[in-house]
Chain A
Amino acid sequence: MWKKGDSEETGVPDSGPPRPAPGPSGADRSPRGTREAAVIGPSITIRGDVTGDEDLTIQGRIEGTVMLKQHNVSIGPEGKVDASIHGRAVTVEGEVKGDLHGEEQVVLKRTARVQGNIQAPRVTVEDGARFRGGIDMGEPAMAPGGERPAAARREPAKPVEAAVRPGASSAVGTTRT
């Protein structure tokens, strides 16, 4: 399900676990509050594959892959990632060139710069985020009663009465709104 979240100010995605690791400043804690997220600092560059068993905040640079399917991955505002990222929830504030796979969700914050494809059941894009690539959405959900969702549940347009032959000089058949 693609859901609209409820926290505009904080940018924290929809309620309910898991939540992505908090921003890069301050103490990073896991959704359960029992363990701090690992942090790759701004001066660190990693070339290769990153795997692990804890949440991760990336403030530095990674070239390769990030594979933390069961954990939250955050790319901080200064983070630069040239890699595909797999996480439970993936939150981007920095720059990513690569595909984003979120088991639960992907969040692009307003400072995000992403080039790649996104696969996740829920995707949140904040106004101002720059994104170029593809989003796999699955089939449009059917609303209760078998109807298509509101956006798709529109009546087909009437036969186009206003179709005009290109170059026609008169306004006959042309709709002015």
Chain B
Amino acid sequence: MRRFRHAEAGPDAQGGGTGAASGGVDEHRSPGLKAALAGLSARVGCRVLDLGPALPANIDFLSGFASHLSIADLSADDGLAPGTDLWRRRLADIAGPFDLVLVWDLLSHLDRQQARDLVGWLKPATRQGGALFLLVHEGPEMPARPQVFEIRSDEQILYRPSGLGAIAAPRFPPAEVARLLSGFRIDASFVLRHGVREYVAVRTECDEDHSL
């Protein structure tokens, strides 16, 4: 089996956790990730795009599924700051189509125009039938910066804090997420106890068909 070597990433908090906006390291169940990966397991030569940073644990885990992994690290160095297009330049060299895109919680940290632009980029970059996996903060608060998410298993994710406090949330209620994801159909969504909703959105032929 192909493996990456990596050092363990900091302390591990099991169980319920203290909430996504608390600044703590929490581990949470992720039925959405499991659903997203289930769609991959039958495919050969999968291509995965991770919009988060390069984490050894994630690379290691995804190597069991993907023949190609692209990492965009969009949020590094304020790449998602309002009014900037640094994120777009970071995607410039990345070639799809992908079978799975790990968007994580980036959508919650974009203004609406940026979110539309990002989805507009993802649409042709996602293979028909391919999926986006997103986390959207729905509690009263969310971390001020995108968190780092470490895959611990196919249904367990460690949330690493951004360390910059919390800001008001949500910015995107479910109906708006569905509208934003033009060209994708929301196959599943899961509300988690800690105020995050997971979405699995599947690329469709028809741009209008974006909800169940």
Contacts and interface: CB of A to CB of B under 8 A. Distances in A.
Interface of A: 1-6, 8, 13-14, 110, 122-127, 129-141, 143, 148-154, 156-157, 160, 162-168, 171, 174-177
Interface of B: 1-9, 28-29, 31, 34-35, 37-38, 41-42, 44-45, 53-56, 59-73, 76, 90, 93-94, 154, 173-175, 177-178, 186-193, 200, 211-212
A154 B37 contact: yes
Contact of A174 (B4, B5, B189, B212): B189
Given A137-B69, A154-B37, A2 B190 contact: no
B189 A177 contact: no
A140 B65 contact: yes
A69 to B, nearest CB: 22
Given A174-B191, A177-B28, A149 B1 contact: yes
B59 A125 contact: yes
Given A125-B6, A139-B44, A139-B45, A150 B93 contact: no
A166 B154 contact: no
A130 B59 contact: no
Contact of A140 (B56, B66, B93, B154): B66
A2 B4 contact: yes
A132 B71 contact: yes
A160 B188 contact: yes
A18 to B, nearest CB: 16
Nearest to B191: A174
A135 B69 contact: yes
Contacts of B42: 156
A122 B6 CA distance: 12
Contacts of A127: 6-9, 55-56
A163 B188 contact: yes
A163 B189 contact: yes
6 contacts: A125-B54, A134-B70, A154-B41, A156-B42, A164-B189, A177-B29
Contacts of A167: 173-175, 178, 211
B54 to A, nearest CB: 4
Nearest to A8: B7
Given A130-B73, A134-B71, A160-B200, 15 more contacts: A2-B2, A2-B63, A5-B5, A122-B2, A126-B56, A131-B71, A134-B94, A135-B71, A140-B63, A154-B37, A157-B35, A160-B35, A166-B189, A167-B175, A176-B191
B68 A132 contact: no
A123 B76 CA distance: 22
A133 B69 CA distance: 8
Given A133-B71, A133-B93, A177-B29, A124 B4 contact: yes
A126 B7 contact: yes
A96 to B, nearest CB: 13
Given A125-B54, A139-B45, A151-B65, A4 B3 contact: yes
